């Protein structure tokens, strides 16, 4: 098969991928340079980079960016650390291991909306099981979803409960595929369990951990359903992340041009973070 024939077979697929992936991005970039208030009945009006310039003086945009970073960094840190620790715990033979693994995987099977509704009820100030337990322990109940100071930690707890098992699965799969020779050598040399984990296990599974972090970072940055169901961005805008602000701008205020510029910012944010994680992964693989 010559080169032209080879490229001839792949060309239709490349064109299809270009239409599906590139066209929406290009169209969204074009729309971000227009002013379009849908409810006015008028079409888009070209304004260049004005939507992006307006973002610099928009406190709500900066707040949504801050919420996005705090929520994403919080969930990513907790889930990666906890998921890796659980994977290390399960990476051994013990009675009932299959059942324990199955229990840990239950949260992934539930839909984010269902999980959000359940945790929203658990965080309820008057009837939520969490506040009831706190009161029985002699502590004051908390306004989990109504306090600007603790609403994001409450969301992080919910997200951690559902998505830590994903980190667990990825890291555990990597652990189970590791060669046994380095561990046997370390055992002969008299290394204890903590030295083995720090100097051998973690460096070997680092690429898998970074891959898991990449997957979760994408989802965490663009989280929408959980926050919308539990708080709608409240109280006030204390839990309104960038994705939710895009939704509000486009479908509540009907400012499609401004919403498109926000979407480009979100796309760029996801792209930059994943490029950084890819570099870290390649560095760790060398």
pLDDT of 1 reads 52
pLDDT of 257 reads 94
pLDDT tens digits along 233-282: 999 999 999 999 999 999 999 999 999 999 999 999 998 988 888 887 77
pLDDT of 241 reads 96
The C-alpha atoms of residue 279 and residue 80 are separated, in whole angstroms, by 18
Among all chains, which residue has been given the structure tokens 């590791």? Answer: 178
Does residue 102 lie within any of the structural domains? Answer: yes
277-286: long-range contacts, CB 8 A cutoff, minimum separation 24:
277/210, 277/213, 277/214, 277/217, 278/214, 280/210, 281/206, 281/207, 281/210, 281/211, 281/214, 284/203, 284/206, 284/207, 284/210, 285/206, 285/207
Domain that holds residue 171: 48-285
The count of domains in the chain is 1
Averaged pLDDT of the chain: 90
Does residue 253 lie within any of the structural domains? Answer: yes
243, 224 Cβ separation under 8 angstroms: yes
pLDDT of 179 reads 85
Average pLDDT over residues 64-86: 96
pLDDT band per the 50, 70, 90 thresholds, residue 97: confident
How many CB atoms within 10 Å of residue 145? 23
Asked if pLDDT for residue 125 goes beyond 90, the answer is yes
Asked if pLDDT for residue 63 goes beyond 80, the answer is yes
Here the tokens at position 85 are: 């620790």
Does residue 171 lie within any of the structural domains? Answer: yes
Give just the sign of the alpha carbon dihedral 126, 129, 133, 134: negative
Does residue 64 lie within any of the structural domains? Answer: yes
Does residue 10 lie within any of the structural domains? Answer: no
Kindly report the pTM of this predicted structure: 0.90
pLDDT of 266 reads 95
How many CB atoms within 10 Å of residue 261? 27
pLDDT of 74 reads 96
Here the tokens at position 223 are: 């989280």
Indicate the helix (H) or strand (E) that contains 266: helix 256-285
pLDDT of 156 reads 97
- The answer to which of 74-83, 102-111, 129-138 has the lowest mean pLDDT is 102-111
pLDDT of 183 reads 82
- The answer to which of 32-41, 224-233, 235-244, 275-284 has the lowest mean pLDDT is 275-284
Q: What is the DSSP letter of 38?
A: G
- The answer to which of 5-19, 23-37, 162-176, 197-211 has the lowest mean pLDDT is 5-19
Does residue 14 lie within any of the structural domains? Answer: no
Residues contacting residue 123 through CB under 8 Å, at least 6 positions apart: 130, 131, 144, 145, 154, 230
pLDDT of 49 reads 94
Indicate the helix (H) or strand (E) that contains 46: strand 45-46
Average pLDDT over residues 175-197: 85
Does residue 7 lie within any of the structural domains? Answer: no
Q: Kindly report the CATH number assigned to the domain that includes residue 183.
A: 1.10.3720.10
Does residue 94 lie within any of the structural domains? Answer: yes
pLDDT of 146 reads 94
| Most confidently predicted of 141-150, 188-197, 208-217 | 141-150
Could you give the maximum distance between any two Cα atoms of the chain, in Å?
Answer: 77
């Amino acid at each position: 098969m010559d080169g032209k024939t080879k490229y001839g077979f792949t060309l239709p697929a490349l064109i299809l991928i270009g239409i599906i992936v590139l066209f929406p991005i290009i169209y969204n970039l074009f729309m971000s340079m227009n002013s379009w208030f849908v409810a006015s009945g008028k079409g888009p009006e070209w304004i260049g980079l004005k939507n992006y310039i307006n973002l610099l003086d928009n406190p709500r945009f900066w707040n949504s960016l801050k919420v996005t970073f705090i929520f994403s960094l919080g969930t990513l840190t907790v889930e990666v650390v906890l998921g890796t620790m659980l994977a290390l715990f399960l990476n051994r033979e013990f009675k009932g291991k299959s059942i324990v693994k199955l229990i840990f995987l239950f949260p992934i099977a539930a839909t984010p909306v269902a999980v959000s509704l359940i945790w929203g009820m658990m965080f309820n100030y008057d009837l939520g099981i969490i506040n009831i337990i706190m009161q029985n322990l002699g502590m004051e109940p908390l306004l989990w979803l109504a306090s600007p100071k603790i609403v994001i930690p409450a969301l992080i707890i919910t997200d951690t409960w559902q998505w830590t098992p994903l980190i667990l699965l990825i890291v555990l799969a990597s652990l189970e595929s590791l060669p046994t020779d380095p561990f046997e050598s370390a055992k002969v040399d008299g290394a204890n369990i903590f030295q083995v984990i720090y100097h051998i296990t973690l460096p070997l599974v680092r690429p898998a951990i970074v891959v898991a972090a990449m997957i979760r970072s994408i989802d965490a940055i663009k989280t929408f359903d959980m926050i919308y169901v539990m708080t709608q961005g409240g109280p006030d805008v204390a839990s309104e992340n960038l994705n939710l602000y895009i939704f509000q701008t486009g479908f509540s205020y009907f400012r499609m041009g401004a919403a498109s510029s926000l979407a480009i910012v979100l796309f760029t944010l996801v792209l930059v973070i994943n490029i950084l994680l890819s570099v870290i992964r390649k560095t760790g693989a060398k």
